[in-house]
Amino acid sequence: MSDPLNRLAEHPYVTHIAPVMVAPPRDPRWKRRLAGGAAVLVLVGGGGTAGAFLTEKYLDGTPAAAVSTATGSTVAATTVTEDDELAPVVAKVQPSIVTVLVDGARESSLGSGVVIGADGLILTNNHVIASTGTVSVRLSTGETVPAKVVAADSVHDLALVQATGLSGLTPVTFAADDSVAVGDTVLAFGAPLGLEGTVTSGILSAKDRSLSTGEETLTGLLQTDAAINQGNSGGALVDTAGQLVGINVAIATAGESTGSVGLGFAIPSGTVAGVVKQLQAQIDS
């Protein structure tokens, strides 16, 4: 298995609407489960599927924001920005993006993930796979294969999933820690609202944000105005070189809305790389 940490070096975002592969119709699983309660913070996991958490905590002490985490889904189109050069970035990254599915007896969940091993090792958010059920992974080609959770870190909200019977996949390339700057263009990949293959663009809005899920506090997060919605959780935030700068984890929304208002958050690549190394050590021990 190739070491994803040897590929640390990617960065920001796009400025044009880059057409992308049209994927299957949106998967209804994104809306099967919704965490209840009036919330300010929502971990966007599969549009209310497993991993969707609502809290009454405020983002950085600001009472106006409601944060949601995102997970993956199926998309029929991608967002185009102002720069035609974004299309090659999308083409480079898309094969490394997957949808993570968890089918249980009473509920199903859907989230996004990124390939970090050619043999099917997938990185996603812990809240995406937190529910009980059978795990599977759907590749960018549309192929769905069985998978299992092999390691998880609830504190940093990251997990590793091993898909079976695969080889020759394209691992994502990690950007060097702290390589992205406020104002840089970034692209978000995933399956918002069950639409797999979706890509949105924006800029890096801020760094070192903190938010509380009610049980854990995530710190050092990247903030972006790229559209992120439920279903994007576990997906990639990349720079214009197609390198991973973060893993999408949450959005802030206003009032009772759970949609994107241009306040998305991602776990930075440096944190992700460190946690991945620890999780891989657990697997190998």
Cβ contacts of 123 within 8 Å, gap of 6 or more: 4, 113, 114, 115, 116, 158, 159, 160, 161, 234, 247, 272, 276
Q: What residue type is 88 in one-letter code?
A: P
Look at residue 115 in the predicted model and tell me its pLDDT.
Answer: 98
- CB–CB of 271/277 below 8 Å? no
pTM of this structure: 0.76
> How many domains, in total, are found in the chain?
1
Look at residue 211 in the predicted model and tell me its pLDDT.
Answer: 87
Q: How far apart are alpha carbons 43 and 210 in whole angstroms?
A: 13
CATH of residue 59's domain is 2.40.10.120
Look at residue 142 in the predicted model and tell me its pLDDT.
Answer: 94
Look at residue 43 in the predicted model and tell me its pLDDT.
Answer: 61
Report the Cα 151 to chain-centroid distance in Å: 17
Which of 157, 239, 260, 269 is labelled catalytic? 157
Which of 96, 131, 233, 269 is labelled catalytic? 233
CB neighbours (10 Å) of residue 190? 36
Please calculate the CA angle 23-116-203 and round it to the nearest 5 degrees: 65
In order along its 285 residues, the chain shows pLDDT tens digits of 444 333 323 322 222 222 222 233 345 444 433 222 223 445 655 533 333 332 222 233 333 333 444 444 333 334 444 445 899 999 999 999 999 999 988 888 899 999 999 999 999 999 999 988 999 999 999 999 999 999 999 999 999 999 999 999 999 999 988 899 999 999 999 999 899 999 999 999 999 999 886 777 899 999 999 999 989 999 999 999 999 999 999 988 876 667 788 899 999 999 999 999 999 999 987
Residue 11 catalytic? no
Domain that holds residue 43: 1-285
> What does DSSP say about strands 236-238 and 185-190: parallel, antiparallel, or unpaired?
antiparallel
Q: How far apart are alpha carbons 280 and 285 in whole angstroms?
A: 9
Which of 127, 179, 205, 269 is labelled catalytic? 127
Residue 233 catalytic? yes
